[in-house]
Amino acid sequence: MQRPETAPHDALAALRQRAEREINEGLLPAAQFAVAQSGQLVAFESLGDCSDDTLFPIFSCTKAITSSLAWMALAEGKFKLDDPVSVYISEFGSNGKDAVTMLHLLTHTAGFPNAPYRPTDYWDPEKRAKRYEQWRLDWEPGTQFTYHPSSSMYVIADVLERVWQDDFVSLINERVAKPLDLPELLVGCPSHLQDRVADIVHCGAAMTSEEYAALGLEMPPVTEVTEDALTKFNEPETRSVPIPGGGGYASAKTLALWYQALIGYGTGARWQGLPWNEETVQRAREIRTHGLRDPIQGYPVLRGLGIVIAGKEDAHLRGFGHGVSAEAFGHNGAGGQIAWVDPNTELSFVYLTNGHDRHAIRQAKRGIALSSLAAKLA
């Protein structure tokens, strides 16, 4: 653990105690958490069956990393938000998808949330194009929001490869990780690091339809994020694929420091030597989904360009805790992974676990509690 003298000791102890609870109870096998503020690491702890060298699958936390690359391309004029995707990938324009724009991809309003894509297809450009050509729309692009677990990010990464004429892994490494001196900010895990990755373990019992009904909720729809899909991330073949919407690997420390770079803190003076400038990040943080609501719980959707914005109300429903400002932003991941930064307090928080809690409400409550306690460290 690293902690400056100014860190509120009681608040940090409370955060640690809450993070340890399910590990001590035998529910979760391991977890890490990290807190950073104003460019400095405040705390980094590894709990349970892991060490500070352990890397965790960060799943959809990866979307923010991939999106940050898109922000840079946008700033460089490589594409425009209202550009049809088919301008860059001609095969994509079939079956009415010629109306899908880059903005639709970044805001989960494109209309193909569960379009099929096999991760290993990434390695074959012809298979990629064939997949895009086959996909069909579930609704008119831009008219509603439904979370796209992976499909839209595959397309974004493909566009980025084409406009920069480089492969996605190299783009992440050269344009994001290296400038920030974060060599273990990974999308796709190379073979020599795979033995450091914590295996996913499924924990507890899933909620029943009766339990959902008692809370006034419907059973969530079945998506591609199944137990079998998450278990595949224990396999070397899947780990090696740079899945742009969910194939990231990192420690909590690395990810917390990456979020510090999104508020201007890197290896030099503020906003100096970073892959992006303040204007670029501010543009990414603008809410682009006004008037749209979550299809399951009905709260307003607040999405920037590939990231979630906390907002003044219902921030806990968007993956943040109580106590963050409306400007806080980030992106959580399957299995209970948490990652956000609050520009007002300059505090970033990351919690990672390899324990996939089958009980969705318990997992959500844990996330809210941890984020709320982390916010008290500001």
pLDDT tens figures, 157-197: 999 999 999 999 999 999 999 999 999 999 999 999 999 99
This prediction has a pTM of 0.96
- Percent helix, strand, coil in the chain, to 5, is 40, 15, 45
Joined tokens for residue 310: 């906390």
Q: Which residues contact 206 (CB under 8 A, 6 or more apart)?
A: 358, 359, 360
Instruction: List, for the chain, all residue ranges whose pLDDT scores fall below the cut of 70.
Output: 1-8
Contact status, residue 352 vs residue 31, Cβ threshold 8 Å? yes
Residue type, 62: T
Specify which residues 36 forms β-bridges with: 41, 348
Domains of the chain, each with CATH number or no CATH:
9-62+184-375 (3.40.710.10), 71-168 (no CATH)
Strand residues in the chain grouped as ranges (E): 30-37, 40-48, 56-59, 186-187, 201-203, 248-250, 308-309, 329-330, 338-342, 347-353, 355-357
| Predicted local distance difference test score (pLDDT) of residue 82 | 98
